[in-house]
Amino acid sequence: MRSSILLLLYAAFTTAILGKSIHNPNDGPFRDMLATQTSPLKPLSNRALLAAGLPPRTPQFARRALTRRVPSGVELAPRQAPSLLPLPDIVQILVKDDFGDTLGYVSPPSLTDYTFTVVQTIAQAGLFFITSQTGYVNIGSVQSSSGAPFLGIVAGTAGDDFSSQDSSVWGYLALAGGSSFPSTSNPRNAYAESQVWLIDPFTLNLIPAWDDPRTSSRDFLNVIYDSTYDGLRVTPNPELYANTYGEQVQEVILTLVSLN
């Protein structure tokens, strides 16, 4: 049962990462998390986007016209897009769908289980800072009140071997302690890691990658929103994750933005 997996992860997370004693998982705030059921995410309205200082959505008819249009040779010629780095000191993280529509914002860390979800208004959005902007980066949570202040990945009980596309292994987006590895590499040796993010300098999209010291491979992961438990996760294969655990998920894209 999926609930058993979550309960085991919570015990492992609180002892290994936060150094807290294990308590009965049927008591306390984690019980509420198990009962959470939310609707799939929908794009924010143009009114909400404009209020947050974001551009409105492209109308569907314009998207269809753009899809049917044949680009010219000049448009197809390779060109160098301008880098959007460096970033300001404080940023928010947009949650987008495959069409680039904004679904919401990454939340502050939960005060009860230290995980991250998606919120619908800029007033609720989490605030983050980035310690460096090249290579693997640590993304700190301004609102963290724990000793593990960074937005990281905490592996689930299926393990941390993210290399196989045939695996339903998964991880939470949750608070993790800062990595001591150089930014040029991020060898994994724990169930929680913070230095797992690469920044696309041209789109400011966040790319989660988990280097596996057992295979010397870099495993790029997909970010998903699990509406069954109202939380952000990572997995190599979202479809297999959904089929294995019977949960409703959406593949999403995380994008850095400064709306201050």
The domain spanning residue 227 has which CATH number? 2.80.10
Asked if residue 159 is part of any domain, the answer here is: yes
Question: Can you read off the two tokens belonging to residue 20?
Answer: 């807290």
Asked if the structure places residue 166 within a domain, the reply is yes
pLDDT value at position 224?
A: 96
Secondary structure class of 242 (helix, strand, coil):
helix
pLDDT tens series, the chain, 260 aa:
433 344 344 444 433 443 332 222 233 233 344 435 577 898 998 899 988 888 888 776 455 554 455 555 555 555 566 788 888 889 999 999 988 999 999 999 998 889 999 999 999 999 999 988 888 889 999 999 877 899 999 888 777 777 777 778 899 999 988 776 666 655 555 678 888 899 999 999 999 987 766 666 677 899 999 998 899 999 999 999 999 888 889 999 999 998 76
pLDDT at 60: 63
Residue 67: half-sphere exposure toward Cβ, Cα within 13 Å: 8
The reported pLDDT for the residue numbered 143 is 94
Between CA 129 and CA 138 the distance in angstroms is: 8
Please give the residue range of the domain that contains residue 250: 37-54+84-257
Domain annotation covers residue 46: yes
- Tell whether 15 is covered by a domain: no
Question: Residue 178 burial by CB count (10 A; 0-12/13-18/19+): exposed, middle or buried?
Answer: middle
Model pLDDT, residue 190: 65
**13 located within any domain:** no
Q: How far apart are CA 89 and CA 25, in angstroms?
A: 38
* pTM more than 0.85: no
* Max Cα–Cα distance, the chain, nearest Å: 64
Residue-wise pLDDT tens digits, 118-129: 999 999 999 999
Task: Evaluate whether residue 212 is within a structural domain.
Answer: yes
In a domain, 145, yes or no: yes
| Gap between the Cα atoms of 182 and 134, Å rounded | 11
What pLDDT, in 10s, does the model give residues 41-69? 989 988 999 888 888 887 764 555 544 55
Is residue 41 assigned to a domain?
Answer: yes
pLDDT score recorded for residue 161: 76
Angle made by CA atoms 94, 95, 96, in degrees to the nearest 5: 110
Distance separating alpha carbons of residues 186 and 143, to the nearest angstrom: 25
The total domain count for the chain is: 1
Assess contact for 191 and 147: CB atoms under 8 A.
Answer: no
